[in-house]
Amino acid sequence: MFETITRDLFLERTDHTLELYEGSGSNWRLVKSASPGNLSSFEDALFANNEMQDTPFIVALLPSFHENGCTVGFGYVDLTKRILSLAEFLDDSHFTNVESALVALGCKECLLPMEIGKSSECKTLNDALIRCGVMVTQRKKTEFKARDLMQDLGRLVKGSIEPVRDLVSGFEFAPAALGALLSYAKLLADEGNYRNYSISRYNLGSYMRLDSAAMKALNVLESKTDANKNFRLFGLMNRTCTAGMGKRLLHMWLKQPLLDVREINSRLDLVQAFVEDTELRQNLRQHLRRISDIERLMRNVERRSAGLQHIVKLYQRNWLLNKGVIFHAPKNAIIVVNVLHQHSFVLTVISLVKDLIKTKLSIRIPYIKSSLEKCEQFSSLIKERYLDPFELLTGDDHLNKFIALVETSVDLDQLENGEYMISPSYDDALAALKNEQESLERQIHNLHKQTAIDLDLQVDKALKLDKGTQFGHVLRITKKEEPKVRKKLSTQFIVLETRKDGVKFTNTKLMKLGDQYQKVLEEYNNCQKELVNRVVQTTATFSEVFEPLAWLLSELDVILSFADLASTCPAPYTRPEIIPPVHISLFPFFSVLGWVRGRSWFQIIIGPNMGGKSTFICQIGVNILMAQVGCFVPCEKASISIRDCIFARVGAGDCQLRGVSTFMQEMLETASILKGATEKSLVIIDELGRGTSTYDGFGLAWAICEHIVEVIKAPTLFATHFHELTALAHENVNHELQKKHNIGVANYHVSAHIDSSSRKLTMLYKVEPGACDQSFGIHVAEFANFPKSVVALAREKAVELEDFSPTSMISVDAKLEVWLFILL
């Protein structure tokens, strides 16, 4: 029940904190606490089934308002990978840059100064945080200070402090934000964090910017309300095999499409290599399924909550077969944690151990290396990307040293029994205690045999030696045999209890040996605890080996996932051509559409309801995102220019709790586009202006289109039912208006066929050049089984109101001025 509640709070929602208390009556104490950005106390429950797709981040923001806008001090901490980062940037009134950073990082919690968080100036910031699903935690402004920051970073950050000092000194507000993070996350309270963190500058321009509206419009990530998660882009592309690592990396890549043409092409080269070599792809994917979640295992080790089972798992899952060893376990092996169960640093994860026992065959890095070496296409790239790093990481100073540690310290012979023990040969004191323990065991067994002779009973049949927590070592005979020796039992032994399974008894010599054995066992357990702690601490120093190894395996997993998608989907996938951000053209498999700078970059798409306009324009955005992630796209041919941002205003929805209507939400999203888009962005707008009156809506739509065409000049897909907007590209108009409106605009329509005799409408799902003056809304109403009388009346009113002529619309200057006046 507790795990269910924990998973519901943090996997399904992001607006709660959790505190766990223990005690009774009026005496209670806090044991654990967690927030959406800091889940370390409950990681084992949350990550048990690899359902966490995001690495939780905590962000701190310190906005400073001035006449020209707002300067934002920005800092974040990744508690899983032990990364600190900070940045400082200008932002607009909608906090567009903040929203893009939150989406890219997948942040779950944001710290704000209490006084600023409640100010009216921060209302739009709070709205942006809500849209991104980020919980706001208000902290005292005194926590946002940088006075002791360098001293704290000196304890936390690896390496020399001088580069850190140079980095921090370049910011005015970001250091205070980072200081609040260190205080809130209590990083200095855990000595395991000392000298284990890295710090860097966060660069907003490293990835394509995506806001929450674009992510939602393009259906990129899964939603809590999804009935079928495969309807999302993440669900479609997630064919990863590793236990959680690949899934998390794919989740991150989809939020951070690349801008570097070289890196995009490198990913595409790798995908192409695996698409064209089916056998290699399938073999690698098969063996990646055996890879454990190295990131989580190392996280347990670094937090000192790991036991020998986690360390052995790292060993077996990644190296065992390099030595030609095949690990077999009994079918019904009993998982025994033994003395390690009591160890204060041991987190007993029975499910992980069972999984390990069931894994009879594990092929690891050596197999992956040998398979990749056989790949001939893009061999130099594969060597640089994977083979050389694998060779370095598996050297004598890296993984081989870890292997030596495990083989020296862990009693591998006991694994077949499901026991995780320190090898007695690892420590002289432990070996001496082990010898004494075995000597006492022999004396106890000899006493068992001698007693059987004295009582004239068969050993292990009529007379058995038991060991339990209540009495320790005892002798037991069956009730059937008890009458034969009753006299001797009463005179020479001490009867402890009589039950259905027999009579338990002992004598002074057995009690003495049992007490000695228990004392030695306790000393042995304590020695084991100390040695386990030492092994765990030593293993934690290998984080610099396992972290890049985890990244390499995760990346390979995602690349293979892309290749599997392109190879097995029924629709044809092709490698996109990535070109500089000057021209952009995309040819989806069901139509032809092109952007050419200087001739046409603003596409107006009209046509019937349910004809596929929204699907078409969103698919263009999805294909560009997929291409910049490094994946093949579902097209016959694709030539794609790098886009620095995708803006999308698709669909509508009220936000009554925030007091935002459908139309207001539409205007807020459109305002972000007008302020944030550049000529290198992609703009997708669907049915703008439908939430208000026809004249107001059309006036706004016209003015917005004209602003994008003449000022922003970003490639734009504009789906609409305002047929009058096609006049923006009309050629049969007077010279001045033609000069003003014609260049850059092109009209397209989704086609439909109406049977002349039955008047039945058939959607063709084709996008063709030219305008269309019908939306066929009444036909769609017929599909929905409207009453015939209602449909007939609708047709009559439509005939009365329809009087559309593109030329007449734009020739009336006065009317256009009225529409433009509405926007002011």
Token pair listed for 353: 């151990």
Amino acid at 112: L
Neighbours of 329 (CB within 10 A): 15
pLDDT more than 70, % of the chain: 79
Phi, psi of 545 (to 5 degrees): -90, -45
pLDDT of residue 316 exceeding 90, the answer is no
Task: Provide the pLDDT for residue 328.
Answer: 34
Q: Tens digits of per-residue pLDDT, 63-90? A: 998 877 899 999 999 988 889 999 999 9
pLDDT of residue 265 exceeding 90, the answer is yes
Token pair listed for 537: 């601490």
pLDDT of residue 157 exceeding 70, the answer is yes
Only one residue has tokens 């092994």, namely 535
Residue 474 DSSP SS3: strand
Buried b (16+ CB within 10 A) or exposed e, 351-362: ebbeebbebeeb
Q: Tens digits of per-residue pLDDT, 761-798? A: 777 788 888 887 666 677 677 767 788 888 788 877 77
pLDDT of residue 321 exceeding 60, the answer is no
Among the residue ranges 147-156, 328-337, 506-515, 726-735, the one predicted with the least confidence is 328-337
Residue 140 DSSP SS3: coil
CA distance 130 to 123: 11
Residue 27 DSSP SS3: strand
pLDDT of residue 595 exceeding 80, the answer is no
Task: Provide the pLDDT for residue 461.
Answer: 87
Give 798 or 508, the one with higher predicted confidence: 508
The helix (run of H) or strand (run of E) holding residue 535 is helix 508-540
pLDDT of residue 598 exceeding 70, the answer is no
Residue 76 DSSP SS3: strand
Phi, psi of 467 (to 5 degrees): -140, 125
| Confidence band of 340 (pLDDT split at 50, 70, 90) | very low
Neighbours of 79 (CB within 10 A): 21
pLDDT of residue 278 exceeding 80, the answer is yes
Q: Is the dihedral of CA 809, 814, 818, 820 positive or negative?
A: positive
| Location of each CATH 3.40.50.300 domain in the chain | 577-823
Strongest mean pLDDT among 454-458, 561-565, 649-653, 707-711:
561-565
Residue 536 DSSP SS3: helix
CA distance 603 to 606: 10
Q: Tens digits of per-residue pLDDT, 617-641? A: 999 999 999 999 999 999 888 888 8
Token pair listed for 200: 């860097």
| Confidence band of 263 (pLDDT split at 50, 70, 90) | very high
Task: Provide the pLDDT for residue 363.
Answer: 44
Q: Tens digits of per-residue pLDDT, 280-302? A: 999 999 888 888 788 887 777 77
Among candidate residues 501, 514, 57, the one with its CA nearest the CA of residue 256: 57
| Confidence band of 276 (pLDDT split at 50, 70, 90) | very high
Buried b (16+ CB within 10 A) or exposed e, 710-722: eebbbbbbbbbbb
pLDDT more than 90, % of the chain: 34
| Confidence band of 48 (pLDDT split at 50, 70, 90) | low
The three-point CA angle 278-635-282 to 5° equals 15
Among candidate residues 367, 507, 365, 509, the one with its CA nearest the CA of residue 443: 509
Among candidate residues 586, 607, 435, 593, the one with its CA nearest the CA of residue 524: 435
Task: Provide the pLDDT for residue 741.
Answer: 44
Q: Tens digits of per-residue pLDDT, 162-220? A: 999 999 999 999 999 999 999 999 899 888 888 889 999 999 888 999 998 899 999 99
Average pLDDT in the chain: 80
CA distance 750 to 607: 5
CA distance 775 to 721: 7
Task: Provide the pLDDT for residue 802.
Answer: 63
Task: Provide the pLDDT for residue 197.
Answer: 92
Amino acid at 489: L
pLDDT of residue 403 exceeding 70, the answer is yes
Among candidate residues 110, 125, 91, 124, the one with its CA nearest the CA of residue 204: 91
pLDDT of residue 818 exceeding 90, the answer is no
DSSP E strands in 202-314: the ranges are 209-210
Q: Tens digits of per-residue pLDDT, 660-701? A: 567 787 888 888 888 888 889 999 998 887 777 778 888 888
Q: What single-letter DSSP state applies at residue 42?
A: G
Burial of 734 (0-12, 13-18, 19+ CB in 10 A): exposed
Task: Provide the pLDDT for residue 507.
Answer: 94
Token pair listed for 750: 């989704």
Count of H-run helices and E-run strands, the chain: 32, 23
Burial of 236 (0-12, 13-18, 19+ CB in 10 A): middle
pLDDT of residue 433 exceeding 70, the answer is yes
CB 287 within 8 A of CB 368: yes
Q: What does the chain come to in residues?
A: 824
CA distance 387 to 547: 16
CA distance 20 to 35: 12
The helix (run of H) or strand (run of E) holding residue 178 is helix 174-185
Strongest mean pLDDT among 298-312, 347-361, 501-515, 783-797:
501-515
- Helices of type H across 413-485: 428-455
| Location of each CATH 1.10.1420.10 domain in the chain | 426-529
pLDDT of residue 760 exceeding 80, the answer is no
Token pair listed for 312: 């052995």
- Average pLDDT of 348-354? 32
How would DSSP label each residue in 390-424? HHHHTSTTTHHHHHHHHHHHB-GGGGGGTB--B-G
For domain 577-823, give the fold. Rossmann fold (3.40.50)
The helix (run of H) or strand (run of E) holding residue 502 is strand 502-506
Q: 645-649 and 209-210: which strand pairing?
A: parallel
Q: Class of 426-529 per CATH? A: mainly alpha
Residue 293 DSSP SS3: coil
Beta bridge partners of 628: none
Neighbours of 503 (CB within 10 A): 21
Task: Provide the pLDDT for residue 366.
Answer: 79
| Confidence band of 808 (pLDDT split at 50, 70, 90) | very low
Q: Tens digits of per-residue pLDDT, 444-490? A: 999 999 999 999 898 888 899 999 888 999 999 988 888 888 888 88
3-state secondary structure 641-658: ECCCEEEEECCCCCEHHH
Phi, psi of 454 (to 5 degrees): -60, -35
440 vs 436, 472, 504, 511, 568, CA distance in Å?
6, 13, 21, 12, 64
CA distance 801 to 778: 14
Residue 118 DSSP SS3: coil
Q: What single-letter DSSP state applies at residue 576?
A: P
Q: Tens digits of per-residue pLDDT, 90-119? A: 998 889 999 999 999 988 899 999 887 677
| Confidence band of 368 (pLDDT split at 50, 70, 90) | confident
CA distance 128 to 211: 9
